[in-house]
Amino acid sequence: MSISLKSTIPAAVIAGALVLGLTACGSDKADASEKLVVGATPTPAGEVLTYVQKNLAKKAGLDLEIKEFTDYVLPNTALQQGDLDANLFQHTPYLKDFNKSKGTTLAPVTQIYLPPLGFYSKKTKDVTKLRAGATVALPNDITNEGRALELLASQGVIGLKKGAGLNATPKDVAKNPKGLKFKELEAAQLPRSLDDVDVAAVNNNFAMDAGLNPKKDAILLESVKDNPYNNILAVKKGEEDDPRVKKLAKLLTSPEVKKFIETKYKGSVLPV
């Protein structure tokens, strides 16, 4: 709506209206009673949020709405555009890479849980006992490939170049005493590769979709301690102090949610 310069409305009234309008639009402090719209992937984020919505939110005075997404891009673009107030589905390295590549300004609030990446095999029960020249299948996206290589390196199976960091690739393998061969595949294909490779690094969601139980079937599994891949509640930068977001963060890290995650996922998803 615009105001004509030829309007006969008194200038003082116009000025007052403009001040009120600017004050309302410029406020970055949301009312604690307003609905909080949170984006999430269905499992486990959507299930965890639904538990909070049905069991904890009302008592805490939080009006929570959940919008589910089946990809990793739209929840962030919707958050940046203001269609969401927060989201839960990603880890901090992914968020940082997304900000860098898409020009978004998203920020982590707190860590909630870890869907652990694990190594699976039909040919060995111990990654340290892989045969010489064994084939290792890895996810071919930057974040998770480096994550898998770091997990292997943590067991002394390989050594990575100094400074390789979270974006390590097979080219950053400096020590490979067993002469392992690395096969890069789309993450969704990794469970199907287990018949053809010696061991494969599989993301939690794809493992569970394939009928694998991370806690029982993985021969090597991540832990939550000091893990940069713990999934986070995220907001648009500057909204970290939104009272509704703080309330949700407190509920998501409560003993009740911890118990829900442990009971429902039985080690396949780990509370932080």
Contacts of 202 (CB under 8 A, 6+ apart): 117, 118, 119, 120, 139, 187, 190, 191, 210, 212
Q: Which domains does the chain have, with CATH numbers?
A: 36-116+228-271 (3.40.190.10), 118-221 (3.40.190.10)
pLDDT at 143: 81
Q: Which of 170, 238, 234, 220 is nearest to 26 (CA)?
A: 238
- Residue 3 pLDDT > 50: no
Looking at the chain, the whole-number percentage of residues with pLDDT higher than 70 is: 89
pLDDT at 8: 35
pLDDT at 29: 58
pLDDT at 32: 79
6-23 residue pLDDT tens: 333 344 433 444 333 433
Element (H, E) at 135: strand 135-139
What residue spans of 138-203 are helical by DSSP H? 142-154
48-75 residue pLDDT tens: 999 999 999 999 999 999 999 988 899 9
Q: What is the mean pLDDT of the segment spanning 119-136?
A: 97
Q: What is the mean pLDDT of the segment spanning 201-211?
A: 88
pLDDT at 11: 42
Give the whole-angstrom CA distance, residue 188 versus residue 185: 8
Contacts of 26 (CB under 8 A, 6+ apart): none
Are the C-beta atoms of residues 242 and 109 closer than 8 Å to each other?
no
- Map tokens 């071919």 to a residue: 140
pLDDT at 56: 98
Q: What is the pTM of this model?
A: 0.75
Which residue would you say has higher pLDDT here, 144 or 7? 144
Q: Which of 259, 214, 208, 226 is nearest to 116 (CA)?
A: 214
pLDDT at 10: 42
pLDDT at 71: 86
Give the whole-angstrom CA distance, residue 117 versus residue 268: 10
150-188 residue pLDDT tens: 999 999 999 999 999 888 999 999 999 999 999 999 998
- Map tokens 């890069």 to a residue: 184
Tokens of 11: 């200038």
Which residue would you say has higher pLDDT here, 268 or 67? 67
pLDDT at 241: 97
User: What order of strands is seen across the sheet that includes strand 270-271?
Assistant: 64-68, 36-40, 86-91, 231-236, 106-114, 270-271
Tokens of 29: 């402090």
Report phi then psi at 218, rounded to 5: -70, 140
Are the C-beta atoms of residues 70 and 42 closer than 8 Å to each other?
yes
Helix (H), strand (E), coil (C) string for 188-256: HHCHHHHHCCCEEEECHHHHHHCCCCHHHHCCEECCCCCCCCCEEEEEECCCCCCHHHHHHHHHHCCHH
- Residue 237 pLDDT > 90: yes
- Pairing outcome for strands 36-40 and 86-91: parallel
- Map tokens 């061969």 to a residue: 181
210-223 residue pLDDT tens: 899 999 999 999 98
Give the whole-angstrom CA distance, residue 145 versus residue 44: 22
Q: Over the Cα atoms of the chain, what is R_g?
A: 23
